[in-house]
A and B are shown apart, each in its own frame.
Chain A
Amino acid sequence: DIQMTQSPSSLSASVGDRVTITCRASQDISNFLAWYQQKPGKLPELLIYAASTLQSGVPSRFSGSGSGTDFTLTISSLQPEDIATYYCQKYDSGPKTFGQGTKLQIK
């Protein structure tokens, strides 16, 4: 099965910082990659699909890029409400594996 590896596993940044999280697939998944945000005590919410398409209602400071095996989620200017754990997920054929998550904290 294809493995999804996120880095870093945790990240501390200041309000206004540009934040980048990476996700690597062990095999080519084209652009079948989604990013989810899970705030403490809440259920996950879809941020981005097709590697770079912003889900309706998601702030424009979030963006995604990549294809094949390497993907990134970028927050252009970190806000306090962005404190959450972020997960990538592959959704091509077969298992819809998640990355292990990146916990984002405010410095």
Chain B
Amino acid sequence: EVQLLESGGNLRRPGGSLTLSCAASGFPFRTYAMSWVRQPLGKGLEWVAGISGSGDLPYYADSVKGRFTISRDNSRNTLFLEMNSLRRDDTARYHCVIDPWIQGNLALANVWGQGAPVAVS
């Protein structure tokens, strides 16, 4: 079974830092690009950051560029999101998701973990 399990969510003051982790299982992790998507309570989806399967190509939404860093450890099947200079508008539930577009295994697009809650206040 394909699973994504996010952890590390917490309460932080504005300006603080936090690192989220996402443990992946049930699929060839290293061959898939991955992304972080966030959703504030009652609001829309926002794509935050993505990274290639090899980990050498990260990319970011303008709203987090320069503050967040996405990385991965393919030996541990784990995705990370390091968040610095946190702002109140970073408050959201953060989900890691699989980017299935290159490999074409579209069933993986519907695999979402329950997310990690981040509150900045």
Contacts and interface: CB of A to CB of B under 8 A. Distances in A.
Contacts of A100: 44
B11 interface: no
B110 A38 contact: no
B62 A1 contact: yes
Interface stretch (A11-19, A20-28, A67-75, A84-92): A84-92
Contact of B47 (A56, A85, A95, A101): A95
Contacts, number: 49
Interface residues of B, number: 19
A90 to B, nearest CB: 9
Interface in A7-48: 32, 34, 36, 38, 43-46
Contact of B61 (A1, A32, A89): A1
Given A91-B99, A101-B44, A46 B59 contact: no
Q: Is chain A's binding surface mostly helix, strand, loop or mixed?
A: loop
B45 A95 contact: no
A20 B46 CA distance: 22
Interface residues of A, number: 23
Contact of B106 (A46, A94, A95): A46
Contacts of B117: none
Contact of A38 (B45, B47, B60, B109): B45
Interface of B: 35, 37, 44-47, 50, 59-62, 95, 99, 101, 106-107, 109-110, 112
Given A55-B110, A96-B99, A98-B44, 8 more contacts: A32-B101, A49-B106, A56-B106, A89-B45, A95-B59, A95-B60, A95-B61, A101-B45
